[in-house]
Structure 1
């Protein structure tokens, strides 16, 4: 009897050992190793939008804490509005609206999760698998509600800007939690163009920096012409397939979460998980900035790989000491700028 009782423990150890072995040999570079290299022209806007998002984090936009790279600063004369937590009543993270005349762009930038704000967690945790249907797919409920609140609050001024500048693009950009709100905004605007001056689909863009998994795969692919997701190396959030509400509910019981992930990853075949139409993914076209190589020490000149994967994207968390550091907007801004400079240098020598 005692031998039989020990069988489940042995089986579980084998499963978890298999999971740990697989994770220890997994590198962030593996996710995009078969993707093509992004060209400089298509990646050029990314550092600029990182800078706009950073401006939302600033307490005083006229005296920035983070000095902008040359050519990527904010002209305060072109700032239309900047909302704080007090203004948004906790319905959505702070954001700004900026009229970029240099690039003929109306920019709506949203900051990421503030770990000290309960309202941000309320938005993030307002979801469950398959809770919210949208345009033939599934989306994150809390993020969609936040996007709807933004359009109700700022729809009139967006409409005026779109109509006043008919040759300008309308770009939504966000980091982390804000990336999901930006992605939802872009889809809602495309589906309801009358809300912002009957803007055409080709004029709408979105840049989700360090994106949260916020929409089903069919929507992620369908909106790949509009939404661009940017992931730095080992960033954990785009790879977090465990529902976000489970992660934060388990924050004081990390072994429970790891056990859950272990059982899911080892007992459920990946093909089976990918069949679930309710499963959420990082949105749109993906840009993966790679700066570290497997079994190699140090950093290398970053390269950007891109694709529109249709069979899953960033499916496994990478056990890396950089998994959280690669999520920081200031770091993504720095590495995206370096990657762009590398790409421009290569182009100039070809």
Structure 2
């Protein structure tokens, strides 16, 4: 058989391989991954709706007069909000967030909002990455998200340590959605490695709930920190299954002319 006759066959094989990869990564159903997982207990799932409402509260300008609160409100006490930080405070180093002491559930919470499509700084955090660029504790992590988490930890560790010392036995919870979930996942890693700066808080008291997270760390780290980081995904949430390098290439191709 001549080489010329083989070329269409080779091209068809490549096309089929690419189509199979796209189906697996872009149209994969979350139910297939989770069909062998055990069910979460009521106690394990209990924090999720509460923390989701707290994350949503970060979007509000005035918690005393919320504009987008669901029926029944956010279920939080505005007087328990320690402080809130806007983009003016973070100077684009991290998304907006708030620190909250939930006395009802004995929990100190740092909640981070999702990506703000109108803020170039959020795109800059997402696009600051390339495969194998940043190592952490024997694995690889997303460079931009880790930098945002390190900035946030330096900004808030003294406040968090003081709150934990004034409220013995309280857990320390990091919660975020979308881009914010990547930041809090990295923040959990940083906090575990710097527990001395948090008053030597026990590892078992540090928790992270990442709502609809993108992939931001290598598998060995995800396994090693599975006791701390909880990922919450709704069925076939596509961004969770897309490889981070693919997201980076997609966004950088679309926005490279706007972020220079």
Q: State TM-score, norm by structure 1.
A: 0.67
1:186 alignment partner, one of 181, 188, 191: 188
Q: Which residue is 2:63 aligned to?
A: 61
User: Unmatched 5+ residue regions in structure 1?
Assistant: 253-350
How far did 1:168 drift?
0.7
Residues 1:127 and 1:24: Cα distance change in structure 2 (over 3 Å): closer
Query: Does the 8 A contact of 2:214 with 2:244 survive in 1?
Result: no
Alignment check: 8 A CA contact 2:149 2:184 kept: yes
Q: Out of 220, 242, 253, which is 1:250 matched to?
A: 253
Choose which of 105, 108, 121 in structure 2 pairs with 1:106: 108
Note the C-alpha offset of 1:132.
1.1
Query: In 2, distance between residues paired with 1:141 and 1:213?
Result: 12
Q: Where does residue 134 of structure 1 map in the other structure?
A: 136
Partner residue in 2 for 1:49:
51
Q: Is structure 2 residue 24 aligned with structure 1 residue 29?
A: no
Distance change in 2, residues 1:183/1:25 (3 Å): closer
Supply the distance in 2 between the matched residues of 1:50 and 1:20 (Cα, whole angstroms): 31
Tell me by how many angstroms 1:242 deviates: 4.4
Match among 198, 220, 224 for residue 222 of structure 1:
224
The alpha-carbon distance between structure 1 residues 198 and 67, as it changes in their structure 2 partners (threshold 3 A), is: same
- Which of residues 156, 167, 170 in structure 2 aligns to 1:168? 170
Segment drifting more, 9-18 vs 149-158 = 9-18
Q: Cα deviations across residues 160-212 of structure 1 (Å, max 9, x unaligned)?
A: 11111111111000001111111111111111112222211111111000012
Counterparts of 1:251-290 in structure 2 under 5 Å? 251=254
Q: 1:18 to 1:39 in 2, by over 3 A?
A: same
Number of the residue aligned with 1:211: 213
Q: Secondary structure at the match of 1:66?
A: coil
Q: Is the 8 A contact 1:125 1:245 kept in 2?
A: yes
Q: How far is the alpha carbon of 1:249 from its aligned partner? A: 2.1
Contact 1:105 1:169 (C-alpha < 8 Å) held by counterparts: yes
> What's the offset of the Cα at 1:6?
3.7
Distance of 2:189 and 2:254 partners within structure 1: 31
TM-score, reference length from structure 2: 0.89
Aligned residue pair count: 252
- Which structure 2 residue ranges, 5 or more long, are not aligned? 256-260
